Amino acid sequence: MNNKMNKVELLHKNYIHSLKVNKRWVRLYQLIILLLIFFSWEISSRMKWIDPLIFSSPSKVWNLLVAKIQDGSLAANLGVTLTETVAGFLIATVLGVIIAAVLWWSPLLSKILDPYLVIFNAMPKVALGPVIIVAMGPGYTSIIANGVIICVIITAIVVYTSFKEVDPNYIKVLQAFGATRYQCFKEAILPASFPTIISTLKVNVGLSWVGVIVGEFLVSTKGLGYMIIYGFQVFNFTLVFLSLLVIAVLATIMYQLVDLLEKKLIKE
């Protein structure tokens, strides 16, 4: 019996070790690919295989990054965009889950609103940016609203679909013990939908950045979106690439934080 237990433990340890080794190899290959991309970009720019004025180069971007950090302009613009994005991300997610909960709570309301949600989700919401700015004024509120409106409907639809797909037997068991509809939602529907909500958070990371950057394109005088527009206006494409790379790094960090949240919830 002890020998069997030892073999099982050994197999488990070997399996965990193989997973860790595989993860390290994946990270290594990802790093190699990233380095190759920047190396190829630098060489292509130096050899004039690509137009260095339009496509810049990693060395120019790095030098500009150092200059922007030293004069404090990057921190100021980054802080504005990050605040707007996180606010839009959180508001859209919470509001989307609330809308999904209301639709689940009232089947009649969900039937009435279902076609309108589908139509609104199909609309190019980026095109509503100018309308939002005119309605709410050229400020942080309209930019955050632009990020919210891109995320909230898709969040509501996906989460509501997840609520509906929860095994109805869970509800029947709870109702057999006298649970109210609220208790059914709290104890069965919401916990069962956590994986879908986390997946929606991952999608919203990218969408919220898109919404906020588009909003900054239209109205802002600060932020990474403003830096991109300004770079185009003065033909400083190094500034454009710097802004894009900073956005990519920040979006990756946000995604990893959501991934950590997912692991924590699954572990619990």
Model pTM? 0.86
On the question of pLDDT at 250 being above 90, the answer is yes
In the chain, % of residues over pLDDT 70: 94
CA distance linking residue 204 with residue 157, whole number of Å: 13
**Banded model confidence at residue 129, pLDDT cuts 50, 70, 90:** confident
- Residue 78 — pLDDT band, cuts 50, 70, 90? very high
| 126 confidence band (pLDDT: 50, 70, 90) | confident
Q: Please state, rounded to an integer, the average pLDDT across all residues of the chain.
A: 87
Rg, the chain, Cα only: 24
Residue of 82 and 181 predicted with greater confidence: 82
Mean pLDDT of 167-171: 84
Residues 208-224, mean pLDDT to the nearest whole number: 88
Asked if residue 143 lies in contact with residue 176, where contact means CB atoms within 8 angstroms, the answer is no
Separation in Å, CA 189 to CA 99, 146, 195, 227, 266: 14, 30, 12, 44, 16
Question: In angstroms, rounded to a whole number, what is the distance separating the alpha carbons of residues 171 and 187?
Answer: 9
Q: What is the pLDDT of residues 90-116, one digit of tens each?
A: 999 999 999 999 999 998 999 998 888
